[in-house]
């Protein structure tokens, strides 16, 4: 299922991955369905069906209660009985709410519609997270998610404003009910397509699940323990506080534009266009950047654009003028910039857990989110009735506060450098001055018959070594140049305590100890600068050791032989010295 997706070409990625292609087609159909109301759905509920701000807030809280109950079990059901089945059942249930909206004559019928919608989303979310995990590879996952999001937002550029204009031309808000019927038909078509085409490889942590009411709760406890081990409880806290941002303002975005900023009906549809344009322009480049530099940097870097969205709306409601109706378009465009980080956010959340637990990890996050969300819907309605700006001001402060938790969240995209290990041809020896480089080099030349090339060799000489296959012992800076350019080098660092090297030099040069100690210190600094120049390493703060062995290049069995040889020889020589005494 997980084909080779190393190529960053989008068409090639979709051509190789047929399951990703199926998810993309489904997402496009659902996006067309979502845009059929032209962004006027909430306004229709309030102005036609009579649901005021407090009722809309209570419906949002009701959804949170239902999702809290359903999501507790849906992740466990999904992980134990098949994500594909649960995904299709959830998609089928999604057809019902728009049908009820079409049949509604007053707001009470919104209650069962919101309940069914909440159950459907509870079933879809955990299974979809797993499906995305298994049909994509980590090195292209953020890009794959971005492709789906870009396609749905491309639809949002055209469909909502077109539908809003049609609705406005054909009679205004009353026509929205027929858009809900179109929505129902389209979602049904998407569900039938997925049921026929989608194939998902299943991974079960428990092949024979226990049918017990306790099992979902036990699994959530297990997921919490895993999150603690992986330091992901910061994610849980971040998600939980997200309810204070998303749920408080969720019913009021388009209402604020319509009632506070004075944006006309036909322009409401263009709000999603403004958001989608910035989103789609930035999405693929930012997602590819996320696959290179890491998810966390992208998520943190684009967060301020959400804050600018809230600030723009608050200022438009505070300083009203004939051009205030433009402010929501600017705000939605800023939100599109922020939303370009969502594939990176989704990728890091998916990657942070073992794939057999992904659905339950999604359920766990949704549980903690919905616990906080229950009062937030009502809170949003109360704040709106006091002042329509208050929900957005509250969300702004809440998001600034919760963003501090992102600092503690671990990065999941860890680049693993690939090093080509080859048989050693050249021996590179460098030292902290006075550690015996000359003696060691001469012994190697005599015993192995190697040519010695010292650090004073010209650039031409170094180039000659780089081109030559003749084995050599290369000293000093010339050796570091060769070690950096070639993989067939055996690199040795000779060290000794500074005072030992200073005493040796004092005996050789007949200088005072304090003079040679200063000279050795200056020479050490030169070597440290040289090593930092070529390898960005620090030689001035080495831990105490007698031998350092790089097991990436030297296998453990060879390392053991080296250690054994040195150990035996040192014991032998010290014994011989003691016997002479």
pLDDT of residue 507 exceeding 90, the answer is no
pLDDT of residue 213 exceeding 70, the answer is no
DSSP per residue, 187-246: HHHHHHHHHHH-------S-SS----THHHHHHHHHHHHHHHHTT-HHHHHHHHHTHHHH
What is the residue whose two structure tokens read 């929505």?
Answer: 183
The whole-angstrom separation of Cα 581 and Cα 578 is 5
Residue of 94, 120, 102, 93 lying closest to 45 (CA atoms): 102
The larger pLDDT score, comparing residue 203 to residue 111, is at: 111
Tell me which of 221-225, 418-422, 500-504 is least confident. 418-422
pLDDT of residue 207 exceeding 90, the answer is no
Confidence class of residue 539 from pLDDT cuts 50, 70 and 90?
A: low
The average pLDDT across 87-99 equals: 93
- Check: CB of residue 388 under 8 Å from CB of residue 282: no
User: To 10 degrees, what angle do helices 96-103 and 176-197 make?
Assistant: 160
- CA distances in angstroms from 25 to 189, 250, 275, 307, 426, listed in the order given: 11, 27, 21, 33, 57
The whole-angstrom separation of Cα 236 and Cα 222 is 14
Judged by DSSP in three states, 94 sits in coil
The larger pLDDT score, comparing residue 164 to residue 436, is at: 164
Q: Is the pTM above the cut of 0.85?
A: no
pLDDT score, position 5:
40
pLDDT of residue 110 exceeding 90, the answer is yes
pLDDT of residue 560 exceeding 90, the answer is no
Q: Is 524 exposed, middle or buried (0-12, 13-18, 19+ CB in 10 A)?
A: middle
Q: Is 523 exposed, middle or buried (0-12, 13-18, 19+ CB in 10 A)?
A: middle
Torsion of CA 301, 304, 305, 311, to 10 degrees: 180
**Phi-psi category of residue 50: left, alpha or beta, with phi > 0 → left and psi -120 to 50 → alpha:** left
What is the residue whose two structure tokens read 């990065």?
Answer: 411
Where are the chain's structural domains?
Answer: 10-202+210-408, 426-545
Return the CATH number of the domain spanning residue range 426-545. Answer: 3.40.50.300
Residue of 371, 333, 352 lying closest to 153 (CA atoms): 333
Q: What percent of the chain has pLDDT over 90?
A: 22
The whole-angstrom separation of Cα 227 and Cα 232 is 5
The average pLDDT across 271-296 equals: 82
CATH top-level class of 10-202+210-408: mainly alpha
pLDDT score, position 6:
40
10-202+210-408 and 426-545 agree in CATH topology = no
Residue of 145, 134, 120 lying closest to 24 (CA atoms): 145
Confidence class of residue 309 from pLDDT cuts 50, 70 and 90?
A: very high
- Check: CB of residue 340 under 8 Å from CB of residue 281: no
Tell me which of 115-129, 305-319, 332-346, 435-449 is least confident. 435-449
């Amino acid at each position: 299922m997980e084909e080779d997706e190393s190529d960053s070409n989008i068409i090639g990625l979709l051509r190789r991955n047929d399951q990703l292609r199926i998810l993309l087609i489904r997402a496009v159909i659902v996006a067309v369905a979502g845009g059929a109301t032209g962004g006027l759905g909430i306004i229709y509920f309030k102005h036609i069906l009579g649901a005021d701000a407090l009722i809309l807030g209570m419906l949002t809280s009701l959804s949170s209660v239902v999702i809290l109950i359903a999501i507790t079990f849906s992740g466990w059901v999904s992980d134990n009985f098949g994500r594909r089945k649960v995904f299709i059942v959830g998609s089928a249930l999604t057809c019902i709410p728009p049908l009820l909206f079409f049949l509604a004559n007053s707001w009470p019928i919104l209650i069962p519609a919101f309940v069914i919608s909440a159950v459907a989303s509870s079933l879809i979310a955990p299974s979809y997270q797993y499906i995305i995990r298994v049909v994509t590879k980590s090195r292209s996952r953020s890009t794959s998610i971005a492709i789906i999001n870009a396609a749905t937002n491309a639809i949002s550029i055209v469909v909502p404003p077109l539908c809003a204009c049609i609705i406005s031309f054909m009679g205004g808000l009353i026509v929205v009910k027929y858009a809900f019927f179109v929505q129902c038909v389209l979602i049904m078509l998407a569900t039938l397509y997925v049921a026929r085409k989608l194939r998902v490889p299943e991974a079960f942590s428990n092949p024979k699940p226990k049918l017990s009411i306790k099992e979902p709760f036990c699994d959530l406890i297990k997921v919490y323990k895993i999150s603690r081990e992986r330091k992901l409880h910061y994610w849980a806290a971040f998600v939980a506080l997200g309810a204070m941002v998303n749920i408080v303002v969720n019913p009021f975005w388009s209402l604020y534009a319509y009632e506070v900023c004075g944006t006309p009906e036909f322009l409401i549809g263009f709000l999603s266009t403004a958001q989608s344009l910035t989103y789609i322009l930035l999405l693929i480049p930012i997602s590819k950047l996320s696959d290179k530099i890491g998810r966390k940097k992208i998520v943190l870097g684009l967060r301020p654009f959400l804050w600018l969205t809230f600030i723009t709306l608050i200022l438009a409601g505070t300083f009203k003028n004939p051009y205030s109706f433009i402010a929501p378009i600017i705000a939605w465009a800023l939100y599109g910039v922020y939303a370009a980080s969502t594939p990176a956010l989704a990728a890091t959340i998916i990657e942070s857990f073992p794939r057999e637990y992904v659905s339950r990890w999604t359920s766990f996050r949704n549980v903690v989110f919905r616990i906080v969300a229950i009062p937030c819907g009502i809170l949003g309605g109360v704040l709106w009735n006091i002042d329509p700006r208050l929900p957005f001001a509250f969300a702004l402060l809440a998001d600034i506060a919760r963003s501090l938790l992102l600092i503690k969240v671990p990065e999941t995209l860890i680049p693993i450098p690939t090093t080509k290990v080859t048989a050693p041809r050249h021996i590179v020896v460098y030292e902290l001055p006075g550690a015996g480089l000359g003696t060691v080099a001469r012994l190697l030349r005599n015993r192995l018959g190697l040519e010695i090339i010292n650090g004073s060799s010209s650039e031409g000489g170094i180039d000659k070594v780089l081109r030559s296959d003749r084995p050599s012992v290369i000293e000093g800076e010339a050796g570091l140049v060769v070690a950096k350019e070639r993989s067939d080098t055996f690199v040795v660092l000779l060290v000794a305590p500074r005072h030992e090297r200073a005493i040796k030099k004092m005996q050789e040069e007949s200088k005072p100890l304090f003079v040679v100690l200063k000279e050795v210190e200056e020479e050490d600094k030169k070597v440290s600068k040289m090593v930092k120049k070529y390898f960005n390493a620090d030689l001035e703060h080495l831990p105490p050791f007698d031998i350092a062995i790089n097991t990436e290049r030297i296998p453990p069995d060879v390392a053991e032989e080296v250690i054994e040889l040195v150990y035996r020889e040192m014991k032998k020589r010290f014994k011989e010295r003691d016997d002479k005494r």
